[in-house]
Amino acid sequence: MQVVSKPRVRQVRYRELEEVGALVFDAFASFRQVLAAHIFKPYVKDAANLTMRWQEANVMVLEQEGRIVGTLTYYADAAREGMGWPSGFAGLRTLAVSPAAQGRGHGRVLCEWCVTRARRQGATALALHTASFMTSACMLYERIGFQRHPSHDLLASEVLGFDPALGHQKIVAYMLQL
């Protein structure tokens, strides 16, 4: 009988950023089918650019059996993310689980780590943005207790800088009161 170790959340090492960025790309690759190319390409490029967030936030990984199977970015102050959240909120961004490891509760482990961290630091809320086509993620957030916060919804064209005349994609906001 093989013993499987409990997954462990830890901060990414700088030398792992490229590997973890590739994990994000792989995890989001299935969205290519639901997003227009002018949205998909800048979206995935932005999501996988963990080096960009290295100084502003905590890029975390979930490790299982010595392998990185998931990641997220945690902002102690969501206002630093630049997505319209007020200071005093913590922020969660770019939750991604390797396709080979999906469906095993790893996303929940990462989310719960964020909730615990935000509560310990005294944040008033934990906030995030996602998209409605990310149905599994939306269901996970709602099961944990996040609620939609439409007043903080955004448009991908505003965030990613592409021409809105090409078409829009709404970025939906969720918040968990702590």
Q: Please report the domains of the chain, with CATH numbers, ordered by start residue.
A: 8-177 (3.40.630.30)
pTM to 2 decimal places: 0.91
- What pLDDT does residue 59 have? 97
Residue 177 has which token pair? 């009161």
Indicate the average pLDDT of the chain: 91
Residue 36: Cβ-neighbour burial (10 angstroms; 0-12, 13-18, 19+): middle
- What pLDDT does residue 54 have? 84
Assign 3-state DSSP to the chain and report helix, strand, coil percentages, each to 5. Answer: 45, 25, 30
The mean pLDDT of 136-141, rounded to a whole number, is: 96
- What pLDDT does residue 3 have? 55
47-69 as b/e: b if 16+ CB within 10 A: bbebeebeeebebbbbebeeebb
Share of the chain above pLDDT 90, in %: 70
**64 DSSP β-pair partners:** 67
Identify the residue with better confidence: 53 or 127.
127
Residues 6+ apart with CB under 8 A from 125: 88, 89, 90, 118, 175, 176, 177, 178
Q: 38: pLDDT confidence band, cut at 50, 70 and 90?
A: confident
Q: Could you give the dihedral angle defined by the CA atoms of residues 45, 31, 125 and 115, in that order, rounded to the nearest 10 degrees?
A: -100
Cα 63 from Cα 88, distance rounded (Å): 29
Q: 55: pLDDT confidence band, cut at 50, 70 and 90?
A: confident
Residue 90 host element (H or E)? strand 89-97
Lowest mean pLDDT across 41-55, 78-92, 157-171 = 157-171
The mean pLDDT of 72-80, rounded to a whole number, is: 96
Q: 35: pLDDT confidence band, cut at 50, 70 and 90?
A: confident
Q: 2: pLDDT confidence band, cut at 50, 70 and 90?
A: low
Identify the residue with better confidence: 158 or 65.
65
Per-residue pLDDT tens for 155-178? 877 777 766 667 778 889 999 999
For residue 39, the 8-state DSSP code is H
- What pLDDT does residue 4 have? 63
Cα 17 from Cα 20, distance rounded (Å): 5
Residue 108 has which token pair? 């929940």
